Amino acid sequence: MIHSLPAAPAPGPCETLVRRPHPRLRGYVFSYSGFRTREPIGHRILPINIPALIVDITGAGRVVTGASSTPVVERAVRWGHGVTVGLTPAGVSALLGVPMRELTDRSVGLGDLLGGRDAELAERVAAHPDWTGRFAVLDDWLTARLRPAHEDPLVAAAWTRLQREPRVAAVAAGLGVGRRRLEIGFQRRIGLSPGTVARIARFQRAVDMVAAGTALHQVATDAGYADQPHFTRDVRAMSGLTPTGLRRTLADALLQDAAAVSS
């Protein structure tokens, strides 16, 4: 998943490196992403289904952005060099001690949720000159914070399935419950409806395909849109950009490491 893009043309590409967490964190941590720009910049934060911990090692911006269905353009300089940690609903509960819905559509200081230990975490990450070492620090630090997650297993299973299956009715049927049961559970635990979660997941699949260089007409089909106009409308609503504009921004902004793996 791509969390954000430059809000304006950047002075150079953003180096990004995506990694999976250690297997012991699976189910809690969705992915890690290292990032570095030539200088801190403002960001266009894209709709995303996961809360993201932004650990800027320069101290410019350490925040947690919650799941959200609308893009947010922040012109102010926020971050330029550090790591992003994407959390699952269970991870929010187990690592931050709050239900995911309390972060939805919000941006909260990382120190507020870590009891002021955000600087310590940033220092430990910065102590390693390479991304492999930095991700290993995150593995150890997050594992030490794990606490029992107070989650609804049904909601957690449905959330996971909706990242790939856009039909809420099909997910509900597969779990042996009615759609209304999922609606109530998502309202209590996620803060977004199942339909919104499915829509964001489809949009993020499209963004990943565009970033990989897939032709736009093929993205519309493979990501699960009804047709090209549907794809165009949704990209405009979810990013504030046309599909062509999104492709241009991604091409200008992202310099993917050759060893990176898709989240």
Angle formed by the axes of helices 153-162 and 194-211, to 10°? 40
Query: Dihedral, CA atoms, 99, 158, 196, 235, nearest 10 degrees?
Result: 120
- Pairing type for strands 254-256 and 14-19 reads parallel
pLDDT at 262 over 70: no
In the block, residue with structure tokens 């809000």 = 7
In the block, residue with structure tokens 């799941």 = 67
The count of other CB atoms within 10 Å of the CB of residue 259 is 10
Q: What local confidence, expressed as pLDDT, does residue 220 receive?
A: 94
Q: How distant, in Å, are the alpha carbons of 86, 190, 255 from that of 13?
A: 22, 34, 6
* Terminal alpha carbon distance of the chain: 6
Q: What is the mean pLDDT of residues 179-196?
A: 96
Q: What is the mean pLDDT of the chain?
A: 88
Give the model confidence (pLDDT) of 126-171 as tens digits.
Answer: 999 899 999 999 999 999 999 988 889 999 999 999 999 889 999 9
What is residue 80's three-state secondary structure? strand
Instruction: Average the pLDDT over each of 91-95, 125-129, 170-174, 256-260 and give the range with the smallest value.
Output: 256-260
Give the residue extent of every domain in the chain.
Answer: 4-145, 153-256
pLDDT at 260 over 70: no
Among positive and negative, which fits the CA dihedral 114, 138, 124, 141? Answer: positive
Residues 58 and 119: beta-carbon distance below 8 Å? no
pTM of this structure: 0.87
Identify the band that residue 258 occupies on the pLDDT scale cut at 50, 70 and 90.
Answer: very low
Q: What local confidence, expressed as pLDDT, does residue 223 receive?
A: 94
Residues 107 and 64: beta-carbon distance below 8 Å? yes
Q: What local confidence, expressed as pLDDT, does residue 76 receive?
A: 63
| Side chain identity, residue 77 | V
Return the CATH fold of 153-256.
Answer: Arc Repressor Mutant, subunit A (1.10.10)
β strands within the chain, DSSP E: 4-6, 14-19, 29-45, 52-56, 62-65, 72-87, 107-109, 254-256
Identify the band that residue 206 occupies on the pLDDT scale cut at 50, 70 and 90.
Answer: very high
pLDDT at 57 over 80: yes
Q: How distant, in Å, are the alpha carbons of 90, 183, 192 from that of 186?
A: 13, 5, 6
Residues 221 and 215: beta-carbon distance below 8 Å? no
